[in-house]
A and B are shown apart, each in its own frame.
Chain A
Amino acid sequence: MTDLQIDHGIDRKIDTSQMKVTSEVAIQITDMNKWFGAFHVLRDINMTVNRGERIVICGPSGSGKSTLIRCINRLEEHQAGQIIVDGTELTSDLKNIDKVRSEVGMVFQHFNLFPHLTILENCTLAPIWVRKVPKKEADEIAMHFLEKVKIPEQALKYPGQLSGGQQQRVAIARSLCMRPRIMLFDEPTSALDPEMIKEVLDTMIQLAEEGMTMICVTHEMGFAQAVANRVIFMDQGQIVEQNEPREFFNNPRSDRTKLFLSQILGH
């Protein structure tokens, strides 16, 4: 099979020097099952994420990929199996949940910035109230990360005054202000206009280059090829196939994967 030509819109050279997968386990999911009422959304999920991994999860809509990463910071509760994040098992114990949440950053499809707070306040809120960082220091941390996502000049505006791409970059900065060790991205570019997708992907690539452990649910196959060290394909609540990106795209093994890839890359 010849190399698939993927228009990934990523025109920069990616610095892979810091992108190292270590043997330290960051997330361990064992035999995890979840139901929405009678509907079996996630079935026997087994997955180990090592520190430094950049994983892209793809699959048709309704395949449970968002639900899977939302289970990792307990936005969704799983009913069977085990999820251990950074050595902390997710149970109904609120302390554990808060501990995991403050160490796992999450970026949503619809940004979910707080519209009544300025960009700066959005970024300093959690450090001040959860981490008890003094306000001045929190402001400095926030400005540091806003510079990193290249919008420090917007700090005093409100989310409603920013474009979608800018809002999503603020959302990334807001998560980073909590100094997370793991970042979850739930379709971060799906709600964006095409010309804004690139600026958000650039920010995500930058994060990957710094060695962040990332799990992204995304349809940006260019990003997957350029940055991911592993692509997971899900369908009907199960992990159907996973592989390193080159093999995954050029040599998909299951028929479902082939069908899915031909649908999203075929046009």
Chain B
Amino acid sequence: MSNIESHTIAYVRGTMIPEQDPPITETGAIKWLRENLFSGWFNTLLTILSLLIIWWSVAAIGPWLWNMVWNAGSLRECREILAGAEGACFAVINDRWHQLLFGFYPPALYWRPVLALILLFVALAPVLFPDLPRKLLWFSAVYPFVAYHLLWGGSVWLPIVALLGFVAGYVAWRLIHRMSPLASVFAAVIVPVLWWVILAAPLNSFLYSGLPWGLDFVRSDRFGGFLISLVIGITGISISLPLGILLALGRQSDMVFVKSVCVVFIEFIRGVPLITLLFTASLLLNYFLPPGTSFDLILRVIIMVTLFAAAYMAEVIRGGLAALPRGQYEAADALGLDYWKAQRLIIMPQALKISIPGIVNTFIGLFKDTTLVVFIGLLDPIGLSNAIRASTDWQGVYWELFIFIGLLFFVFCFGISRYSMYLERRLKTDHK
């Protein structure tokens, strides 16, 4: 201490030190390797172990994939081509891809589901990307009816009459809203239901007898493969979200009746396995419905899958609602916004944003759960893989079919997941 103080503290540098390169272990690939793979004896051990596992896996699967056969008429032909070597027989996909995609849909009409799929992307675009012109949303609103007609065909008047039910609901809502907002909500639900139950069928047959327009009718039991997964999955996804929102709001309602209906519904559905509901849809529903009514099986399954997802959705959204500070409700109230406006403009945009990961989780879960319909005899991709194996040509083909089916599901689920990440980034306005 005193030693330093006794000396002068003045100092002048004679020469400046030029900039030098860092040591070789601190740059580029070597640095990355050292930090990420070999940063200690334990991590080095793990790295070596991982490399070994990767090597073994590649060695096991590699030749099988490398020798894959795409052109063969049956598994036996495949084996002849391979001549004893190990190899995948993807020829089954080449031979039966149309069944895996469309089931037993008439091949001459494949253009209809394909067109429906293409139009689906057109309809989804304005919903998913707000930069697109808002007028396109009209097409999105009409799309379900267009898609229904493309897929099933039959009388062109049926979807139009069904669409008019919504129009009737809207008109009822407009007329009564001035007198009583609450009554108008009930009217908006009851009027369309009455329309569909009482008026829709006679009106449809009347119009169809006069003007028999429409595409060829395709029965539901011809549907199968990925087509059925997409129809159930996409309908379920698009209806379960709004239904889930209503259930979540109902659960928070002050109105005892509304609240208890929602709570009972959510808790009941969540407490029962989906497969039970599907069996109910396929077997039991017939006992409860009036004799003679035949209720399309796909429609029944869609209803069950949607209700199932909606109950989960409601709980996910309730989580988002619970995360909002009370002040947001109070500010909306203090500005004079009524309940529905406050929900639409203030509460839901924030609650849904918070819930995006959970919502997407439910969507993906729902989409993959559509494969459960195989148990009630619908020919989804899994069901068809069984059917394909049942033919003498392809008896014993497992992996190739499941890889193909898995890949298709993965593409869709991964797409949903990436979109949700984009959405979260775009909606990020809190600057945390």
Contact = CB atoms under 8 A, between A and B. Distances in A.
Contacts of A110: 325, 327
A115 interface: yes
Interface string A91-132: 000100010011011101011111110000000011001100
A73 B330 CA distance: 10
Interface stretch (B17-25, B153-161, B261-269, B331-339): B331-339
Given A158-B429, A160-B431, A75 B350 contact: no
A104 B333 CA distance: 11
Contacts of B387: none
Interface in B334-358: 334-338, 341, 345-346, 349-350, 353
Interface in B171-222: 181
Contacts of B333: 73-75, 101
A114 B331 contact: yes
Contacts of A114: 328, 331, 346, 350
Of residues B327, B334, B430, which shows the largest number of chain A Cβ atoms within 10 Å of its Cβ? B334
Contacts, number: 71
B258 interface: no
Nearest to B327: A112
A220 to B, nearest CB: 21
B427 interface: yes
B432 interface: yes
Interface string A139-183: 000000000000000000010110000000000001100100000
Contacts of A111: 327
A226 B337 CA distance: 34
A104 B349 CA distance: 26
Contacts of A129: 337, 341, 345
Contact of A101 (B181, B325, B336, B346): B336
A130 B327 contact: no
Contacts of A98: 336, 338
B335 A101 contact: yes
Interface residues of A, number: 28
Contact of B430 (A108, A160, A178): A160
Interface string A18-49: 00000000000000000000000000000000
Contacts of B346: 114, 125
B350 A116 contact: yes
A24 B331 CA distance: 28
A130 B429 contact: no
Given A112-B327, A112-B328, A115-B350, A160 B335 contact: no
A130 B432 contact: no
A116 B349 contact: yes
A116 B337 contact: no
B334 A75 contact: yes
Given A114-B346, A116-B427, A161-B431, A126 B335 contact: yes
A102 B336 contact: yes
A72 to B, nearest CB: 11
A73 B429 CA distance: 30
B345 A130 contact: no
Contacts of B337: 125-126, 129-130
B336 A115 contact: no
A108 B327 contact: yes
Contacts of B336: 98, 101-102, 126, 130, 178
B331 A112 contact: yes
Contacts of A174: 335
A73 B334 contact: yes
B334 A106 contact: yes
A156 B20 CA distance: 47
A158 B334 contact: no
Of residues B328, B331, B335, B341, which shows the largest number of chain A Cβ atoms within 10 Å of its Cβ? B335
B327 A116 contact: no
Contacts of B345: 125, 129
Contacts of A125: 335, 337, 345-346
Contact of B429 (A74, A94, A104, A116): A116
A186 to B, nearest CB: 10
B338 A94 contact: yes
A115 B335 contact: no
A74 B333 CA distance: 9
B338 A115 contact: no
B331 A160 contact: no
A11 B432 CA distance: 35
B429 A112 contact: no
Contacts of A161: 431
B335 A158 contact: no
Contacts of A126: 335-337
A106 B432 CA distance: 27
A187 to B, nearest CB: 13
Contacts of A158: 429-431
A16 to B, nearest CB: 29
Given A116-B353, A116-B429, A160-B432, A108 B338 contact: no
Contacts of A75: 330, 333-334
A110 B325 CA distance: 10
B176 to A, nearest CB: 15
A151 to B, nearest CB: 17
A166 to B, nearest CB: 13
A178 B334 CA distance: 11
Interface of B: 181, 325, 327-328, 330-331, 333-338, 341, 345-346, 349-350, 353, 427, 429-432
Given A112-B325, A112-B328, A160-B430, 18 more contacts: A73-B333, A101-B336, A102-B336, A108-B327, A108-B331, A108-B334, A110-B325, A110-B327, A113-B331, A114-B331, A125-B346, A126-B335, A126-B337, A158-B431, A160-B429, A160-B432, A175-B335, A178-B336
Interface of A: 73-75, 94, 98, 101-102, 104-106, 108, 110-116, 125-126, 129-130, 158, 160-161, 174-175, 178
3 closest cross-chain pairs (CB), A and B? A102-B336, A112-B331, A112-B327
10 contacts: A94-B338, A98-B338, A101-B334, A102-B336, A105-B334, A108-B331, A108-B334, A112-B325, A114-B328, A158-B430
